[in-house]
Structure 1
């Protein structure tokens, strides 16, 4: 086993102005909100997968749902589930589905030939190989790794009442992958759900899961739902209660979906009024200009831009709008953080006007000096024609 394997007790491995890059302002907020959004999506997906599994009674469909769900939850490209029966591992399902069957000795194998899986099922704790090429593998393990093209793999036991029913395998074929604590928590929760539902599918009507098992499954689902609600509440707090002006805009229609309290105070419209408006009502862009800006945002060519925003009192403010894309309720939304830079823009305009005035004054003074020199030359020339010495020294004469 390599130095990157997980500790068995924890399971964790060792005219719009567009600009190409956004400055540091707002990046920390957006990073935090992006992490919360991704976590919410994972928790919602975990609940969805658990609901599908509970509704299935066919073992083959259930096993395929487990591997498909693990692939979606981890965003990795290779998953499998083996069931443990009398010391033998039996392949139940894979994602993607194998186009060519594995050899029989790999579909059904002795637990002794898979020491990493054996360690996971015996300790009831995950085992992770961050880089399979550096891991100490048996010949059979090497064959499986080669058949699937695996670079990193996590073995997650299907635990029920301190015993393992099998193992969920999640792997990456794209290169070494370091499983985070969040990855392992989500995947092990899925494996725990799978163990309960598999046991229910296996038992006959006379031997259904105990009430305690069903309560445990319900508790797991409730904990996941509670975590989702807490993260959603935190996300809403970061949006509604934040001091920065924030808008959520539907990228397809341009409609303002939501505005925080700071936006209500800044623009002067109520939250209800803003939710009935389009962003074009505020920024004064043409539909073509808005689409061009949106295209740049979607292509990640632009993270912020400068534009004018109108307020309810009829005044116009210069603003910088920082943009990030989020998905909520099946909609592609633009999370916009608006910063008022009117004072800066006006100061820059005054400086430009003063510079222009100085340049014009400088040009006038240069013209006057040139005219004085010309007059001095003319006086010296007239004196020379009269046979008198020049009046002004060090004045160049020019020949016409």
Structure 2
């Protein structure tokens, strides 16, 4: 990693002196990923922002230079294993301006419930990519001893862990883009913290009441800071407003400038959005705008319970549950929830009616039994009176005979 960073810095310095080009940072340009594929920002985001299960594609065209676009492509499938764990696999290609990196990404994240309103999520992205010079038109000056690989191509493995603490709707996260990096071809790895790229972020999920197009609204502001070896610290802010049918986002990055984007979800399954970013610094005045396109296909209804930290549910409960934040559900979930509530109401009313019928039947049986007993008692009294009358009549008859 140190060798590659030295190469990048020296090479970019030469380019800047000769052609006054802007030095492009070698890190991932993933700070605008707020709605889909955001596990590239922090691996734990696959638990709450990748809309599991989904297949998503993100493409970024940096500055639109002819035949020299530092382009990024990220295609990713995210799968929710259960309410606490998620798994993802993807394809990544990035042009840093110096290197072209092409390979795959594996993602895993797990969340621990610390209490009713607290959680701790851990995640990991593992990258494996082929790295080569992005511009083969550059010919190395034999008088400059730059340590370029003889083959010009190498295979690199990176481990990028992430962590996020959540309290209520507030979250605080940290990710390291290259906590461990090993160049298999050159048998070289980064050893010091001065070679690592750190990314810290804090965000808040704010539900919004609304109906129609605003149904299921959520505002998520986020502030982030990134440190890159031998380069200026990056910082910025972005805000996402999303509903079941569309989303709008805007942001600012101290190096790349301001950005704005929007997108929509169609038929409850397919999402498509675009973003434009314009440089605001003097160094980027001559640069064309950058563009991003994101598209996603959802294979199932998303489990958004982790958007609001602290919600808990036992696994043995029925599959249809009532989250504390109903406004987080999409139309299909709200319909299923309403049907379940209606069915529970019908079941409760049916049980009450059965209990009332049973009680009424018991009362009828008791009344009938009581009436039967009273009838028997009356009949016995009647029979007794008739027997007494017969006996009296017989005695009177005998007295007449004797007289």
Range into which the TM-score falls when normalised by the shorter chain: under 0.3
Q: Which has the larger radius of gyration?
A: 2
Instruction: With the length of structure 1 as denominator, give the TM-score of the two structures.
Output: 0.26
Structure with a larger share of its residues in helix = 1
Query: Does 1 or 2 have the higher relative contact order (CA < 8 Å, sep 6+)?
Result: 1
Structure with a larger share of its residues in strand = 2
